[in-house]
Amino acid sequence: MKTIRHFILLSILFISGNTFAQQISKAEVQVNGLTCSMCSKATETSLKSLGFIESITADLNRNVFILTFKPDQQVSIDQIRDKVQDAGFSIGDLSATINFSNTVIDAGGLAQSGGMIFQFINAKSKTLNGLVTAQVMDKDFITNSAFKKKVAELKSDSYLSGKGIVDGKETRIIHLSI
Amino acid sequence: MLGMGLHAHGQELYVFSEPASNMAAKSIGIRINNEGVFNGNAMNRTIPEVMISFNKKLMVHGQAFLSDMDGNYRLEGGSLYAKFRFLSIDETQKHLRAAFFGRLSTSKRPVYTEDINLEGDNSGAQGGLIVTQLLHKLALSGTLSYVKSFEVESHQVNGMPRPDQMINYSLSSGYLVLPVVYKSYNQPNFNVYFEMLGKTNPANGNSYLDCAPAFQVILNSRTRIDLGYRFQVAGDITGRYNKNMYLLRAEFNFFNVLK
């Protein structure tokens, strides 16, 4: 009985592609502003309070935190950003490893997957399959000076605000670079 | 000393002043401070202190002052300090932080000098600005503040100078000396600090300037031990406080414990 239930669930997940099963399996977060010996510990403690985090490995020399995520929980990169900022610091770079299954990027660079809307700033009209590492380019995921440059280059309202109208609703759009 | 600077990383856990940065949000810190002078009869002051960070911008400290400056060890007074970080700009190799701070203090001590110390010796209020800048490996911080003393007449020693106002200013720098390469959170960190601490009475220009070197050890990334010594290098104010004074501190941090 249990095996049948699992099989049905798996089939649904496989077919629908709109699964809650998390496809972001890992993220490398480079944190800026760490100028005290206790700062990394405070940042790690802040991040650990997020329920979807499986493990945190800190590279104290590069100020990089390698996060792995629980496979059955929705990952929120915005919450990761908030926790780093709560500790008093900021994200310089967040590179996420995402497992795509036949996800289509349309001609405008937009893709939907795992309940999230992605806007690729350097890819369009292709299909993504398997593990892809992408850098998050939104505000507060890169340095302020880098963001200002990108805003001038992209001239996009959704990039400036991190939101856009999708299916008639205002939705969070995550901007990625691969 | 200069040689050490070439391999050092900037550190901003200054010993004689506060950086513009805050503690991590929702965290609590507890300190035991002891400061004293040796001038014939060794006198010292013990200051228990609690620090609470409400969010990434606002933190509050509460202190109690106990000393034997006037006889037997007794409770002299207390102080409330609040710091609000209003600016934080982070780049890869540098950052800039700025904060306003304010302090309100009371003290039972008699007053006999124009110097004002709101951490034990005087009642009064203080307001100021802290700016901390990281440039590559050097974390430099400057503080400027205005101090006003509120003393009841009964505290004033007859015939002696009266406290009224002070402008305080300081410049601090700190360096991570060890470890050279990090292996784990549990490695002890060893930091050294150099701070310049000055005061000027705006009414008459009387001033003094102290140099305050300090050592610091961080254990388990949560516990901090400071040992510093401040000594006068320029100017003087008759009867001034904290002259040639050591400061010893133990601090314990509890991250992410408030809801």
pLDDT at B40: 66
- Predicted local confidence at residue B180, as pLDDT: 82
- Inside any domain, residue A11: no
Q: Does A86 touch chain B (CB under 8 A)?
A: yes
In this structure, is residue B181 part of a structural domain? Answer: yes
Between A36, A43, A144, which is nearest B13 by CB? A36
Q: From the CA of A58, how many Å to the nearest CA of chain B?
A: 9
The pLDDT assigned to A9 comes to 52
Who among A40, A49, A88 is closest to B221 (CB)? A40
Contacts of A89 in chain B (CB under 8 A): 90
Q: Is the dihedral of CA A33, A35, A38, A40 positive or negative?
A: positive
We report the CATH number of the domain holding residue A124 as 3.30.70.100
Phi, psi of B26, deg, nearest 5 = 60, 30
Interface of B with A in 3-22 (CB under 8 A): 9-13, 19, 21-22
Per-residue pLDDT of chain B (259 residues; tens, 9 = 90+): 343 333 456 788 999 999 999 888 899 999 999 999 876 667 899 999 999 999 889 999 999 999 999 999 999 999 999 999 999 988 877 789 999 999 999 999 999 999 999 999 999 999 999 999 987 667 899 999 999 999 999 999 999 999 999 999 999 999 888 888 888 888 899 999 999 999 999 999 999 999 999 999 999 999 999 999 999 999 999 999 999 999 999 999 999 898 7
Interface residue B244 vs chain A (CB under 8 A): no
* Tokens, residue B203: 């009414």
Match 């809650």 to its residue by tokens.
A20
Question: Residue A17: pLDDT above 70?
Answer: no
Nearest CA among B56, B57, B50 for reference residue B32:
B50
Cβ-Cβ contacts under 8 Å between A and B: the total is 93
Considering only the beta carbons, identify the residue of A32, A42, A48 that sits closest to B92. Answer: A32
- In angstroms, what separates the C-alpha of A136 from chain B's closest C-alpha? 16
Determine the Cα–Cα distance for residues A38 and B187; give it in Å rounded to an integer.
11
> Quick check: A46 contacting B, CB < 8 Å?
yes
Q: Which domain holds residue B19?
A: 2-254
pLDDT level of residue A15 (50, 70, 90 thresholds) = very low
**pLDDT tens across A125-159, in order?**
999 999 999 999 999 999 999 999 999 999 999 99
Q: What are the structure tokens assigned to B197, written together?
A: 């601490």
Domain count, chain A: 1
Q: What is the pLDDT of residue B2?
A: 40
Is residue B216 assigned to a domain? yes
Domain tally for chain B? 1
**Distance of residue A47 Cα from the nearest chain B Cα, in angstroms:** 10
**Residue range(s) defining the domain that contains residue A44:** 21-177
More confident position, A35 or B106: B106
- B10 contacts A35? CB cut-off 8 A: yes
From chain A, the residues in CB contact with B21 under 8 A are 33, 35-36, 88
Q: Report yes or no on A114 lying in a domain.
A: yes
Whether residue B141 is contained in a domain is answered as yes
Please judge whether A87 and B11 are an interchain contact, meaning their C-beta atoms are less than 8 angstroms apart.
no
Q: Which residues in chain A are contacts of B99 at CB distance < 8 A? A: none
User: Three-class SS string for chain B?
Assistant: CHHHHCCCEECCCCCCCCCCCCCCCCCEEEEEEEEEEEECEEEEEEEEEEEEECCCCEEEEEEEEEECCCCCCEEEEEEEEEEEEEEEEECCCEEEEEEEEEEEEEECCCECCCCCCCCCCCCEEEEEEEEEEEECCEEEEEEEEEEEECCCHHHECCCCCCCCEEEEEEEEEEEEEECCCCCCCCCCEEEEEEEEEEEECCCCCCEEEEEEEEEEEEECCCEEEEEEEEEEEEECCCCCCCCCEEEEEEEEEECCCCC
- Is residue B259 assigned to a domain? no
pLDDT at position A19 is 45
Q: Does the pTM exceed 0.90?
A: no
Query: What's B221's domain CATH number?
Result: 2.40.160.40
List the beta bridge partners of residue B190. Answer: B178, B217
For residue range A59-113, list pLDDT tens digits in order: 888 889 999 999 888 999 999 999 999 888 999 999 999 999 899 999 999 999 8
